[in-house]
Amino acid sequence: MRVFNFSAGPAVLPESVLRRAANEMQDWHGSGMSVMEMSHRGKEFISIFEKTEADFRQLLNISSDYSVLFLQGGALAMNALIPMNLLGDKTTADYVNTGEWSKKSIQEAKKYCTVNVVASSEDQGFTYVPAQADWKLNRNAAYVHICTNETIGGVEYQWVPDKSDVPLVADMSSHILSREIDVSSYDVIYGGAQKNIGPAGLTFCIVRKDLLGRALDITPTVFNWKEQTEHNSMVNTPPTYSIYIAGLVFEWLIEQGGLVQIEKMNIAKANLLYEYFDSTQFYHSPVHKADRSRMNVPFWLQDEALNEKFLSGAQQRGLLQLKGHRSVGGMRASIYNAMPIEGVRTLVDYLKEFERSHG
């Protein structure tokens, strides 16, 4: 039996995608092979790869000015690869610090350049996004880095920073494909796949082609965006099976009506939770209303002594992985694209029931 899995990542995938992958596991489209067993240069896999990239481009409306790469190493590897690929002859980069994932990006970048933290919401426990008017940007920075959805803190940009001459780099790991975005407002968009796309390890990188060619000499070839662009992400063997699963998820998204429909559904799902939290004293949501994430919803029980009881009751109802991240505590419901609205309704029913019996 399937549960409602509120994990922040790796996370729930559409059931129909899992069923299809299961059906095709041993014999993909009459090839007599599993996708896992195919040569990455053979015509079968190339057809999967090309469709996957085309669907990703279609969903996000990515123009030919951008290279789309499917790499490995996850978003944390990208924390090193971003300075390596973008510094060129510059020595500094700007970072906005909105929480745990921003902090990791900053820490790693410091190994390669001087990092200027140009704005931070640490003063209020990372519960908001600092307004762009308060960012102390540097004209000489190689780029400015933001995390547009802080998976742990549940803080999401509901606006797009104004463009400047300094390239804008965004970690979108945990909300890519959850809403419409204008890709041309960014210069690099990257993330790990395991929140909204597919298996962990697969890493997507959407990069403006005119930024290619700035890599430091020490950049490993397999992580050099220019090399990978020239070789269609196949300098090395790409994560073939993960790319195939991502392709099935993209097809599923297109069947759902694309990002317009998905975004509507995500707004409806998030509203069910936030409206309830705003109507009661028993639970509370720590994030400023304007910056609340539609994907990751942290919440606290007013009486934290009830946490264990809350979690075990949830588990009995098939509502899993609601415990907040170990670094911040509390609870967190991650409600990615593949979480059906029935899952969120079941959670809200349980929240109410638990409040009635313990409030």
Catalytic residues: 101, 171, 195
When binding is defined by CB under 6 A, the residue of 4, 45, 70, 101 that contacts ligand PLP is 101
Compare residues 79 and 276 and give the one whose CB is closer to ligand PLP: 79
When binding is defined by CB under 6 A, the residue of 18, 33, 40, 74 that contacts ligand PLP is 74
Compare residues 88 and 125 and give the one whose CB is closer to ligand PLP: 125
List the one residue out of 172, 169, 170, 176 whose CA is nearest residue 197.
176
Could you say whether residue 337 binds ligand PLP (CB under 6 A)? no
Cβ neighbours for 151, distance < 8 A, ≥ 6 positions apart: 8, 9, 100, 101, 173, 174, 195, 293, 295, 296, 334
Q: Would you state the torsion angle of the CA atoms of residues 175, 321, 264, 51, taken in this order, to the nearest 10 degrees?
A: 50
Compare residues 142 and 170 and give the one whose CB is closer to ligand PLP: 170
Query: 347 with 320: CB under 8 angstroms?
Result: no
Query: 295 with 156: CB under 8 angstroms?
Result: yes
Task: Give min distance, CB of 116 to ligand PLP, in A.
Answer: 20
Alpha helices in the chain, H assignment, sequence order: 15-24, 43-60, 74-86, 100-109, 225-230, 240-255, 258-278, 307-316, 341-358
Compare residues 173 and 228 and give the one whose CB is closer to ligand PLP: 173
Q: Torsions phi, psi of 50, nearest 5?
A: -65, -40
Classified as helix, coil or strand, 263 is helix
Task: Give min distance, CB of 145 to ligand PLP, in A.
Answer: 11
Rounded-to-integer distance, Cα 176 and Cα 185, Å: 14
Beta bridge partners of 66: 208
Pattern 30-69, binding to ligand PLP, x per CB under 6 A? ----------------------------------------
Task: Give min distance, CB of 28 to ligand PLP, in A.
Answer: 26
Instruction: Using the rule CB under 6 A, give the single segment among 12-20, 73-81, 121-129, 228-236 that binds ligand PLP.
Output: 73-81
Could you say whether residue 10 binds ligand PLP (CB under 6 A)? no
Cβ neighbours for 319, distance < 8 A, ≥ 6 positions apart: 3, 4, 6, 343, 346, 347, 350
Could you say whether residue 173 binds ligand PLP (CB under 6 A)? yes
Pattern 145-164, binding to ligand PLP, x per CB under 6 A? --x---x-------------
Compare residues 130 and 351 and give the one whose CB is closer to ligand PLP: 130
Could you say whether residue 75 binds ligand PLP (CB under 6 A)? yes
Count of C-beta atoms within a 10 Å radius of residue 342: 9
Contact residues: ligand PLP, CB under 6 A: 9, 74-76, 101, 147, 151, 171, 173-174, 192, 194-195, 200
